[in-house]
Amino acid sequence: MKRFSFLMILALLAVTLQAQTQVERIEMLEDEPGRPMTFEDMYDLGRLSDPQVSPDGSTILYVVTYYSLETNKSNSDIYAVDLTGENARRLTTDPASDRNPRWSPDGESIAFVSSRENGSQIWTMTPDGTGKRRLTDISTGIDAFVWTPDGAHFLYSSAVFADCADDACNRERLAAREADPVKARLIDRLPYRVWNSWKDDRYSHVFAIPSAGGIPVELTPGAYDTPPIDIGGHQDFVASPDGKEVAYVKNTDEMVAASTNNDIWLVGIDGSNARCITTANRGNDNQPVYSPDGKYIAYRSMARAGYEADKYDLKIFERASGRTWTLTEGVDRSVDEILWTADSKRLLFTAQDGPYKSLFDVPVQGGDVLRVLKGVLELQYTHMDTVKTIELGTYRHDFRLHPDGETLVFLGERMNYPAEVMSIKYDGQAISDIRQLTTTNAAVLEQLAMHAPENFTFKSFDGKDVQGWILVPPDFDPSKKYPMIYLVHGGPQGVWSDNFHYRWNLELFASPGFVVAAVNCRGSVGFGQEFTDGVNGDWGGAPYKDLMKGLDHILANYPFVDKDRIGAAGASYGGYMMNWFLGNTDRFKAIFCHAGVYDLWSMYGATEELWFPEWEFEGTPWKNPKMYDRWSPSRLAAKFKTPTYVSHGQLDFRVPVTQGMQLFTALQRQGVESHFLYFPDEGHLVLRPRNAQLWYREFHDWFRKKLMP
C-alpha cells in the first residue's frame, strides 16, 4: 500500500506581474464595487480552452470561444501569447470554427481543425497565423487529431461506415442517405441513441494519414468506437515517441449500452498487430499516455465493472516486459489528467480533491504520492510601492509541461473568475513564479461585482463531514435578510467545485439578490470513494439526509438567510432530488427542476446508458423492482404541493423528455402551481445562446415571484 502524503508544497514567491493591464484591472476591482452580473455579461466572456506549449517553449496557443446572442451560435478562434504573458494575439479570424491547435514537433507550423471549407478538416498555418491551407478532404469530417511525435503522420478520428473500405465509399453512402426521402430507422441493437444524437451504422474510427498528404490508413476497423461512446479519457488515441505504434481505447463487449469495459489497445502505425493490453480488467481503462523515453504507457483504470464513477487508479504498462503496476492504491482520489516528467522517472496527475482540483506527483516505479498544489493560490504583486495580493484560480486543469521540465502551463479559474491561462514553476521540491498569462475578460470583469464563495463544513446525520458553499449577492449587507436558492448538483457522482460554470453559474444565480447555497452531499466526487459510493442504491436516502442537515447548518450559522424564503433547484440527478423534495418535505417555497429523473421504471426503458441504472439500482426493473419502486419520485406524486417550474429538452436521450412531461402532468392534475419550459432543439443541456438566455430569465423570474414578494 502506497502512502498518500498530504504534503502541500506551497513555497509561494512574491512576483511582479508582467502585464500592466492586469494590475489596473485588479485595482479597479478593489476600489470600485461594480454592478451585478447579467446573463449578457456572462455571454460576453470569452471561454478559454486547450492551451498548447510550443516546442521551443516561447509561445502558448489557446482557444477562445465566444457565444453570440445575435447569431444564436458560438465561434472558436485560436490565439497565442508569449510565455512572459506579453503579446497576446489572435491567429484565426474566420467566421467558421477553428479549434484543436497542435504544434508540429519541429515548431515550424500549427495544425488545427477548421470548419471553414468542406466540413471539419485539418488545416495548417505558420506560427504567426499566416499561410493557412487545408490538408484533408475527408467526407465524414475530422472530429479530433494529433501529430505523431516524429511529425510523419496525423492521427485523426471520424465517424465512418464500418463496412466501407475507403473514403469514396463513405462519401457515396452519405450522399445516398441524404437523397433518400425515407428517413425511417431500422434498429437492431443497443445503443441506438447517445447523449443527444441518434447512433446509426457509423462508428468513430482512428486513421493515420501522412502529414505531407496521402491516403488514410484505418487503424481501428470494425463495429466499435474509438474514442468510446462514453466514459473515455481526455485523449483516447496517441502515438508512441518513435511514431511506429498507436495506443487507443475501445469497448468490444457485445452489449456496449450496458458495459463500462473500455480497454487500451495497441496497433502499428500501418494498422498491423492490433492487441489489447487490459484484458484482465473488466472495468473502465482509458487515456493512454506514452512516457517520453517510450518505455511505458500510463493510463487510468477503474476496477469495478459496470460502475462509471469508480475510483480511477493510475497504472503503468511496461512495453518491453508487458508488466503492469498501480501507482495510486493508497490514494483515495480519482486520477484525471496525466503528465510525464521529461526524464520519464515521475508522473504528475490531477484529481478532484474536495471542491478543488489538485496536482500530485509520484515516481514511475511507485512510492509516496505528493500533493503539489491544492486550493487557493495567492499571487503577490507590487503596485505603487505597495504589496498586494490576489487569489488566482483554485480550480486548475488542462496542464501542459514546458520543455524546460519545470514550468507548468494550465487554465485556472474560480467561481467568481472565469478561466485564464496561467503558469507556475515546479522543480520537484517547491512551487514558485506564479503568473497569469492572459487577461481575456478584463474589460467585462472590471465592471462586475462578484463575491468569492465561502467554504463551510458540517457534521451530517451519521457524523460524516460534508462540505458546501455559500455565496452572497453583489450588494450584500449582513444586517439584512435574504432569500436563498438551495442547489443540488447532477451526476449523482458530481461535485460543486470552485469553478466558473456557464450552465449553472452560481454568481449569476445570486446576482438579482439571492443567497445561493450548494452542498456536496453523498455521491459527490473528490471526498473519497466511500463518500462517492454513498449514493449507490440509496438515491433518496443518505444524500437527502445530507442536504437536510446542510440546510439546518446554514440556517443556524448564517442569520442573513430568511428561513421563510428558501427555494431549491437542480438538474439531472439534482432534478431527481427536486422531485424527491416534492414528495418528502415542505421546507421550500418553490422548486425549479431541469431534466430531472421522475419515474425510474420508464427512465430505464428510454435512456441510452443502461449500465448506469443497472449499477445504481442493482439490476434491471424486472429483476429488482423493489429498488426501482423505493426510489422513484413518481410513487410519491400524491404528496406534491410545492410550486414547481419544470424545464426539459426534446433531444435529451440521457434523461428523456417524457420524465419532465410526466412530472408536469402530475403537478397539473393535482392543481399544484407549475410551469413547463420545453425546448424542441436542446438535449440534456441548454446550449443555444437564446435558449440559455430564456432559461436563465425564467429561472430568475420564477424565484423572484416566489421568494421576493
Express each pLDDT in 163-206 by its tens digit. 999 999 999 999 999 999 999 999 999 999 999 999 989 999 99
Condensed to tens digits (0 to 9), the pLDDT of residues 54-88 reads 999 999 999 999 999 999 999 999 999 999 999 99
Residue 1 clears pLDDT 80, i.e. is over it: no
Side chain identity at residue 233, one-letter code: G
Average of pLDDT values for 640-645? 98
Q: Tell me what the mean pLDDT of segment 220-246 comes to.
A: 97
Q: Write the pLDDT tens digit of every residue in 235-274.
A: 999 999 999 999 999 999 999 999 999 999 999 999 999 9
Is the model's pLDDT at 159 over the cut of 90?
A: yes
Arithmetic mean of pLDDT, 550-570 = 98
How far apart CA 322 and CA 343 sit, in angstroms, is 21
Q: What is the pLDDT of residues 374-392, one digit of tens each?
A: 876 666 555 556 666 666 6
Average pLDDT, the chain: 93
The CA-based dihedral angle spanning residues 134, 139, 144, 149, taken in that order and rounded to the nearest 10 degrees = -60
C-alpha cell at 317: 504498462
Q: What is the DSSP secondary structure assignment for residue 635, as one 8-state letter?
A: G
pLDDT, one tens digit per residue, over 425-459 is 999 988 889 899 999 999 999 999 999 999 999 99
pTM of the model: 0.94
Q: Which three cell numbers stand for residue 529?
A: 470513494
3.30.930.10, 3.40.50.300, 3.40.50.1820, 3.30.70.60: which CATH number matches 454-707?
3.40.50.1820
Torsion, Cα 624 625 626 630, to 10 degrees, reads: 120
Per-residue pLDDT band at 393 (split at 50, 70, 90): low
CA distance 362 to 338: 11
The answer on pLDDT for 109 being more than 80 is yes
Q: Are strands 98-103 and 133-134 parallel, antiparallel or unpaired?
A: unpaired
Q: So what's the architecture of 4-180+199-445 in CATH?
A: 6 Propeller (2.120)
How many CA atoms does the CB half-sphere of 4 hold within 13 Å?
10
E strand intervals along 596-652: 644-649
Strands 482-488 and 561-571 turn out to be: parallel
- Structure confidence by residue, pLDDT tens digits, 114-131: 999 999 999 999 999 999
The C-alpha atoms of residue 154 and residue 209 are separated, in whole angstroms, by 5
Distance of CA 319 to the CA centre of its chain: 31
- Predicted local confidence at residue 20, as pLDDT: 30
| Average pLDDT value for residue range 392-419 | 94
Looking at residue 368, the DSSP 8-state letter turns out to be P
523: left (phi over 0), alpha (psi -120 to 50) or beta: left
Q: Where are the alpha helices (DSSP H) in 32-65?
A: 39-44
pLDDT at 429: 87
> How many other CB atoms are found less than 10 A from the CB of residue 622?
9
Handedness of CA 667, 669, 674, 680 (dihedral sign): positive
- Confirm if 284 and 290 have CB atoms less than 8 A apart: no
- Summarize the confidence of residues 363-367 as an average pLDDT: 97
- Residue 381: its pLDDT value, please? 58
Per domain, the residue ranges of the chain are: 4-180+199-445, 454-707
Residues 6+ apart with CB under 8 A from 626: none
Report the 10 Å Cβ neighbour count for 254.
7
Check whether 162 has a pLDDT greater than 90: yes
User: Which strand (E) or helix (H) includes residue 554?
Assistant: helix 542-557
User: Sheet of 121-125: strands edge to edge?
Assistant: 98-103, 110-114, 121-125, 133-134
For residue 532, give the H/E element and its range: helix 529-533
User: Can you spell out the DSSP letters for 230-284?
Assistant: SS--S--EEE-TTSSEEEEEE---S-GGG----EEEEEETTS---EES-TT--S-
Residues 11-56 pLDDT 10s: 222 233 333 333 333 333 444 469 999 999 999 999 999 999 999 9
pLDDT of residue 349: 98
